[in-house]
Structure 1
Amino acid sequence: MPQQILTHVYRLQPTRAQHAALAKILKDQRFLYNAALQERRDAWRRAKVSIGLNDQTRALTEIRGFDPTYSGVPYDVSKWTLKRLDDAMRAFFKRVKAKAGKAGFPRFRSEARWRSFGFHQKDGLRVRNGRLLFSGGIVGGLRMRMHRPLPDDAVLKSAVFTREGNVWRVALTIKTETAPGHSRASTAIGVDVGVNWLAATSDGVFFENHRPRRQREKALRRAARALARCQQGSRRRRKVRARLQREQRHVRNIRTTCMHDVANAIARSASTIFVEALNLKNMTRSASGSLAEPGVQVMQKRGLNRSLADAAPGRLIAMLRYKAERAGGEVVAIDPRNTSRTCSACGVVDAAQLGRDRYRCGCGLDLQRDHNAAINILQRGFAVHEAARRLGDRNVAGRGERGPVNADPLAA
């Protein structure tokens, strides 16, 4: 049976002693990262010697023999840190080879720029009675707020601990079996993602866009303004920055929860899901232009970019991919051109429809605009996807609208 790698994130509830122990490990791993980076820089500058991951892991074994700072934590914790540096160096050389602007040499990490440590040690990881147990480092195990249980067949592969302010979270990577087949085999839907509605399906199902940043915009603006007025390095600045980070974290959590609910509902509704292959980088590009050629409608485009960032359609599609795979289905990307301008009944292209909430065509079609686009996505998917074509020819244009479904997924 096929298997899948998933990540479950839980909030930790450490005791005061455990909180201090986690903070100490985080600090020590930051020092190790900076020391390893310094070693690589000095070796090349002074002797033109390139030091790699294998060299530093061998040196780590020797250091653990006499330094209790690193021998007191699992070996894989420090190895994870060295691997993170090695990944940063590899990415740097890749950018140098590509010659795409500034390569950006890896920087030393300050306390504000180092928030995580982790390790890959499946034999030393266990979850028992809502506590995370692993060999070394923390005594007594860490209590987790398990808002959802791990799958019964889950095999723990790794753990990454992250501190956000005074909150600790752990991301558990697990291996689990995928579903043998979708519960609704031989079914397909088209999904149109956007700003007015987070998602609309060809079946006439609409998922509300909660716009979490817009809801907290006033609090975010006040916190950002207060931070700008604080003196650099002051205690008040640290407190205000922590308040701003709490607001930003609250927005992210609401958005993530909403997207998980919407992606789960869509993934369960059909075995084949057609989405648009969106180029989000171009969609959110600035319209400011230059001094020689200033842009037009700059403020409108800036507001649209903020709305797109708040809705995060690219992240929703990414969630759909792995959730559909886990449910035994698949996600297929199709050409997005003119899906919102084309009548799903007669095929006429009318650009004037973009400014309207409903698509009204001379052939008699009258549908919500996103619903019409989702039907076009489905029809285009049947036309270009061989596996979907076997599902049969469907008369999707005559389907009625069912209205918002799961309009408030946070209340579910």
Structure 2
Amino acid sequence: MDEQAHAARAMWNLLHDWWTMLPKEKRSLVAADAAIRQARKEIDWLGLLPAQAAQAILKTYFQAWKNCWDGRAEAPNFKARFRTVMSVDIPQGRDLNVTRVHRRWGMVNIPKIGRVRFRWTKDLPVGRRANSDNRITGARMVKDALGWHIAFRVQVLEPKPKPHTGPEVGIDVGLTVPLALSDGGTETHRPWLTGKEQVKLVRLERRAAHRKSFRERGEKTSRRLHRTYDRIQALRARAKRRCLDWQHQTTTAIAKKYGTVVVEALTVTNMVKSAKGTVMAPGKTVAQKSGLNRAISAEAWGRTIELLTYKTARNGGTLQKVPAPGTSQRCSACGFTTPGSRENQALFVCKNPDCGWSGNADHNASRNVLHLYRMGLALIPAAGRAVVRRARRVKPVAAR
């Protein structure tokens, strides 16, 4: 499986070089297909990759250029060995021959490898349950620090969901409280790594830095250092898996309970930019900003919103986005923004003499998020930019 993954990466790189070196008038899908067939015949280690997987690489590469031409993504580029996820695509589901051995394990046929056992973690349409509407259409093998995994592509016919009649809720994402709901509820989690695992991660990172200090510039990385890097990646992969599991369970519960979910339109990539600055104008509090960036990246706010988007639609609800500026400093009771109202990370005290409301800062922000939606300030993405929708004029009252 490792050899097939390396062959797939090399096939992509060779195809990319061949495509970019040819004149534009000679580039075509037919010519690329002929070049791939010839390369698999003449180069032995490229022949380790199944023909279907090679055709899937060609299809993916051509789709990447179409996405670039349409302005949806950047141009495809070279795949480096140590910065690319090892994966192999199996585009045809009929060759997999998936069977269930018992409750926890199943068997699948991998081209040029044979029958492989895999952990059965989700129901699949196999046997009598498989038909023209519910069937496995393909699979993809992916390797991370914890080993090889297989993800099946399944075509399932589902009925159109009925409109969700549940209540509306505003959600404020944060670090101390991951998800704060406008109805007073919160969604929290434990640290992704236990205390012993965190100590082990720090020890391994220090060991890697110590061993790296003895390596001369341009010298090949030792096997000991590679093993240390592998152990660090395994711990981080375990933390990522726990984070994804918590996100799936939490977003599923929210999508089933609420009919309309309102979140802030955050640009996370701008929030985690480095504060180093330049040589002429160096940044300030760089270490604190780096720690904040790591904490934001660990929470994966963008993935949480992405999961909520399709899960609310699957349950008949909707997800709306509102402008983010001012939601944390504005009082949800009177609507005024006064300096110094956010006394600390957890407490909000309105400095308006006629109000004086106080409460949890995250709960206050989630109420402001919901109130912006009720005022008709939802954002509609149009041609790559956000447009403010004013549905109707609503008297600005406190969100309840």
State the TM-score, normalizing by the size of structure 2: 0.77
Alpha-carbon shift at residue 199 of structure 1 (Å):
0.5
2: CA distance, partners of 1:267 / 1:351: 36
Alpha-carbon shift at residue 118 of structure 1 (Å):
0.5
Structure 2 residue 20 is matched with structure 1 residue 28 = no
User: SS where residue 169 of structure 1 aligns?
Assistant: strand
The partner residue of 1:117 within 88, 93, 96 is 88
Structure 2 residue 306 is matched with structure 1 residue 328 = no
Equivalences for residues 86-235 of structure 1 within 5 A: 86=62, 106-107=77-78, 109-110=80-81, 113=84, 115-129=86-100, 130-131=105-106, 133-134=108-109, 136-140=111-115, 142-150=116-124, 154-165=134-145, 167-177=147-157, 180-181=160-161, 184-212=164-192, 216-228=197-209, 229-230=211-212, 231=215, 232-235=220-223
User: SS where residue 178 of structure 2 aligns?
Assistant: strand
Number of equivalenced pairs: 366
Aligned to 2:348: 359
Q: Once the two structures are superposed, what CA deviation does each residue of 1:334-392 show, in whole Å capped at 9, x if it has no partner?
A: 111211111111111134233421223352533211111111111111111699989x9
Alpha-carbon shift at residue 244 of structure 1 (Å):
1.4
Aligned to 1:379: 371
Alpha-carbon shift at residue 66 of structure 1 (Å):
8.7
Q: Is the 8 A contact 2:348 2:361 kept in 1?
A: yes
Q: Is the 8 A contact 1:70 1:78 kept in 2?
A: no
Alpha-carbon shift at residue 201 of structure 1 (Å):
0.8
Distance change in 2, residues 1:164/1:64 (3 Å): same
Matched to 2:32, the amino acid is: Q
1: CA distance, partners of 2:395 / 2:315: 24
Q: Once the two structures are superposed, what CA deviation does each residue of 1:28-86 show, in whole Å capped at 9, x if it has no partner?
A: 32343344344345645xxx874444322234456678988777765321112233444
Return 61-70 or 322-331, whichever deviates more: 61-70
Matched to 1:220, the amino acid is: L
Alpha-carbon shift at residue 397 of structure 1 (Å):
4.5
- Aligned-residue identity in percent: 25
The partner residue of 1:55 within 22, 31, 46 is 31
Matched to 1:144, the amino acid is: F
The partner residue of 1:370 within 362, 367, 387 is 362
Alpha-carbon shift at residue 207 of structure 1 (Å):
1.0
Bigger proportion of residues as helix: 1
User: SS where residue 156 of structure 1 aligns?
Assistant: strand
State the TM-score, normalizing by the size of structure 1: 0.75
Taking CA–CA contacts closer than 8 Å with sequence separation of 6 or more, which of the two structures ends up with the larger relative contact order? Answer: 1
Q: Is the 8 A contact 1:33 1:85 kept in 2?
A: yes
Pairwise CA RMSD: 3.8
Q: Is the 8 A contact 1:195 1:209 kept in 2?
A: no
2: CA distance, partners of 1:67 / 1:294: 51
Q: Is the 8 A contact 1:178 1:326 kept in 2?
A: no
Distance change in 2, residues 1:71/1:115 (3 Å): closer
List alignment gaps of at least 5 residues for structure 2.
379-388
1: CA distance, partners of 2:123 / 2:12: 34
List alignment gaps of at least 5 residues for structure 1.
1-21, 399-412
Q: Is the 8 A contact 1:359 1:367 kept in 2?
A: yes
Alpha-carbon shift at residue 137 of structure 1 (Å):
2.7
Return 376-385 or 82-91, whichever deviates more: 82-91
Structure 2 residue 213 is matched with structure 1 residue 238 = no
1: CA distance, partners of 2:279 / 2:267: 26
2: CA distance, partners of 1:378 / 1:331: 12
Aligned to 2:384: none
Return 381-390 or 22-31, whichever deviates more: 381-390
Return 362-371 or 27-36, whichever deviates more: 27-36
